[in-house]
Structure 1
């Protein structure tokens, strides 16, 4: 037994702090989580119910509910903010950790605390303007429900308040007060230093754009600060220190970015993706494809490419796609001798390949921020995924051309037929979703509710795999992922507004439009730019920030907006799923439970194939717009 006098003082102090944390932090954290997670899960259910009721009333009973969209919009901001709180409590806000993960553990621990302090600084800067914004909204009455808009706008200060409490609890959980004090001091000194430099900033003019939107954003992102808060800090600093604009405007722009009703399909499609996995629909589709191609050299790799294409057409969430497919295929692929590195490399590459498959969240986002027709994007996104899939299959054929299949039994026609019949209800879902949008049964936002209702019925009545115990955690997961995405969109909308007000967008448009070579050069530069942006900023932030700036230029040089959307999304997807910076690659590794180092070499060939496919899609506009009519 160790006596107290033999324990170092610092170690004893940490044990005492850990005990104190156990005594009061954990219960408080549990209470706070319950206060947020239960309403967030209920809001996901409420949104599904409101929108589905609106579809049924309009299409079946021909009695549109004039208040359904308005109520859905009010609930949506609450869902976005409470979901952001859940993501904050879980540490699930999107952040770039490629550099942070390479430093010493002690430095990494310090940077993790700095990230919490930086987020806390942003929230403290904006919580008072958020209250002011909500109080001003009390003078506005909603047209259909005729209630004060403060009931919707109050979500902003309430959500920020909960995140402030969560940040304080997370700091208390650290246990090492020296670490916390150091991080708080560093962030505080940086804030004070920026304030003291205000006279210098006032004389820099547009050079401030480099200071805040390049310097501050890059420093924060590479230090591991969640991307939404990095964007928010840069925008708030720029507005506060270089302009006379009140901070209230930043809150208003965030509200505008997060409240777009089209974005309501984000949480709904995320939830649909989880239902697909839970009900066994994804497993049924993969089993059918495996029965067709399991006996071919590299056959299960082809199945992986095809399964990701089909599942992407259902869920809209890449994490959900990979989580649905990998556990089904990887054990058998390993049994056939596939190396773990090649498995995770191909899984990551298919994530990039299927970014344009409707109803991709990126398609929905690009439609929301640029005004491009969602229906046109859904139609135009199918064939580019096929082209990139073909280039990946070419690499698979080359790598597995000598595979020994003597021990593999070919499925009989009876087995294939049985697998097909079992998979029909699952395979029908992507076609049902697309038909509902094209035939006008539901909007791109509402159609996800039809998919959810269909998945529930198929899970209960056909596959009989519906685990009611998983429903609650799935709803909370949906809120958390959606909140993380929507907070980035809100912060990036504020940043894009600040860039526009500074005149930067006009200067960029002029410079890009004057480039020699016209449309081909502009497309080539866009490909390179979005591969880099996709790896650094992740997909949705890059689209929200630069889409509104670059799409008008594309139109000006004569590029069809749907064609440009496909090129941009695929380029961004390559950056997002390619190491060393692409976070999508690390998500694939986490889902596969394979170390990232193992996939570094195998993925090179697949990334080159994706680049070739991207070049083909960029060079042949018909691939993207040939079926638009």
Structure 2
């Protein structure tokens, strides 16, 4: 009875559009009241969920990304990407994807990528003669690379939930992220050739060198983050703090585009964004504790294993489930609720935790571009001043491409585990 009410309130909240954090809290409270458990459990579990040292890195990485974005990084990265690939047919689309790959290594969030890159690239592509729906679609699709290429906020969440090294998670996402970017570039090129999209003249190696020198300080930030983690000199939290200081120095004193008077506002905005994520983590921990106490994870594992214990079929079932959930639920909430139960199932059939974590995050990133709750779709459609439906139609080829990469990563573990095994301490 109590479990039925728990899920009924949760589903009803999602249908009504109530924020996921509040929905988790209301459904958990309903369960506790029916079960006769004191409500004091809620603040206790919320605090326990947020009291994880590695989660402190989230505000740091969000602040670093905001500082670099306000400090002139977006235009420099776009210029460098355009110098590299802008001369190919459909070059601005390729530039869009390349910029997202480079930008994702700094912000670690897809929505920040979609808003920042999209705010520049979508109007630019429309002006150059690209259809508005294609411009929005390629921006939304490429933004999902951000949380795969390190640093990655969802991967930090996964590390906190499972105990997997965040440094290893970051490395595990590098190859899949590059594969996604390259695959989307191929798709973009094929569409551009078929539809005869414009291209611009080759600007020469001089422009490549000049644009690289302008972007090198921004690009070096990813190297700083990875080096700090791999060398053992800093924890993820300490690395995030160093990255924030670095971003401030580069934006304010090297690029000189970050006004000091803007810093307090950036800090406040970063704190608000971080608070939203951590609140979600806290309420989801209450919900997760209830699921564990009711042995829901074990029930899920037993149900699937009663159908099959074939490793490849289980991987396929997990992917189908996560793709479906990603259509309706925000990424971090889905990870917090489903990751631990599905990890138990994955380990039961011999799937390595690092491999599972990588394709689970990649899967839910694709959900950011699927209706009806694809946040990046809404952001890019709004920038392009279009209704959602034409953008959904235009993004379909990119969705197929990303799902193909997802399946490759899911069924070829080395794509996720090889780099961490070589570089991780």
TM over 0.5: yes
Whether the 8 Å CA contact 1:387–1:617 is kept in 2: the answer is: no
Q: Could you tell me which of 393, 404, 426 is aligned with 2:185? A: 393
Name the residue aligned to 1:210.
Answer: 4
Name the residue aligned to 2:290.
Answer: 498
Residues in 2 aligned to 1:266 and 1:591: alpha-carbon distance in whole angstroms = 27
Name the residue aligned to 1:536.
Answer: 328
Residues in 2 aligned to 1:269 and 1:588: alpha-carbon distance in whole angstroms = 23
Q: How does 1:4-403 map to 2 (within 5 A)?
A: 204=1, 208-213=2-7, 215-241=8-34, 243-402=35-194
Deviation at 1:470, TM superposition (A): 2.3
Residues in 2 aligned to 1:363 and 1:429: alpha-carbon distance in whole angstroms = 18
Call closer, same or farther: CA 1:404–1:584 in 2, change over 3 Å. closer
Whether the 8 Å CA contact 1:283–1:324 is kept in 2: the answer is: no
Residues in 2 aligned to 1:548 and 1:593: alpha-carbon distance in whole angstroms = 39
Q: Could you tell me which of 563, 567, 588 is aligned with 2:355? A: 563
Whether the 8 Å CA contact 1:367–1:374 is kept in 2: the answer is: yes
Whether the 8 Å CA contact 1:295–1:405 is kept in 2: the answer is: no
Whether the 8 Å CA contact 2:66–2:266 is kept in 1: the answer is: yes
Deviation at 1:493, TM superposition (A): 0.8
Deviation at 1:275, TM superposition (A): 0.9
Call closer, same or farther: CA 1:363–1:406 in 2, change over 3 Å. closer
Deviation at 1:497, TM superposition (A): 0.4
2:417 corresponds to 1:625 = yes
Whether the 8 Å CA contact 1:212–1:238 is kept in 2: the answer is: yes
Call closer, same or farther: CA 1:625–1:262 in 2, change over 3 Å. same
Residues in 2 aligned to 1:274 and 1:284: alpha-carbon distance in whole angstroms = 15
Deviation at 1:488, TM superposition (A): 1.3
Residues in 2 aligned to 1:383 and 1:249: alpha-carbon distance in whole angstroms = 42
Deviation at 1:407, TM superposition (A): 7.5
Deviation at 1:592, TM superposition (A): 4.8
Residues in 2 aligned to 1:592 and 1:479: alpha-carbon distance in whole angstroms = 29
Q: Secondary structure at the match of 1:626?
A: helix
Whether the 8 Å CA contact 1:351–1:573 is kept in 2: the answer is: no
Deviation at 1:584, TM superposition (A): 3.0
Q: How does 1:474-493 map to 2 (within 5 A)?
A: 474-493=266-285
Structure 1 residues 164-187: Cα deviation after superposition (integer angstroms, max 9, x where no partner): xxxxxxxxxxxxxxxxxxxxxxxx
Residues in 2 aligned to 1:335 and 1:246: alpha-carbon distance in whole angstroms = 60
Residues in 1 aligned to 2:260 and 2:307: alpha-carbon distance in whole angstroms = 57
Name the residue aligned to 1:116.
Answer: none
Residues in 2 aligned to 1:389 and 1:443: alpha-carbon distance in whole angstroms = 28
Residues in 2 aligned to 1:314 and 1:389: alpha-carbon distance in whole angstroms = 16
Residues in 2 aligned to 1:591 and 1:334: alpha-carbon distance in whole angstroms = 11
Call closer, same or farther: CA 1:323–1:551 in 2, change over 3 Å. same
Deviation at 1:594, TM superposition (A): 4.1
Residues in 2 aligned to 1:502 and 1:403: alpha-carbon distance in whole angstroms = 55
Whether the 8 Å CA contact 2:107–2:146 is kept in 1: the answer is: no
Q: Which has the larger radius of gyration?
A: 1
Output the aligned Cα RMSD: 1.8
Residues in 2 aligned to 1:405 and 1:229: alpha-carbon distance in whole angstroms = 45
Q: Which has the bigger relative contact order, CA under 8 A and spacing at least 6? A: 2
Structure 1 residues 157-208: Cα deviation after superposition (integer angstroms, max 9, x where no partner): xxxxxxxxxxxxxxxxxxxxxxxxxxxxxxxxxxxxxxxxxxxxxxx4xxx3
Give the alignment's TM-score, normalised by structure 1: 0.64
Residues in 2 aligned to 1:485 and 1:528: alpha-carbon distance in whole angstroms = 26
Deviation at 1:408, TM superposition (A): 2.8
Deviation at 1:379, TM superposition (A): 0.7
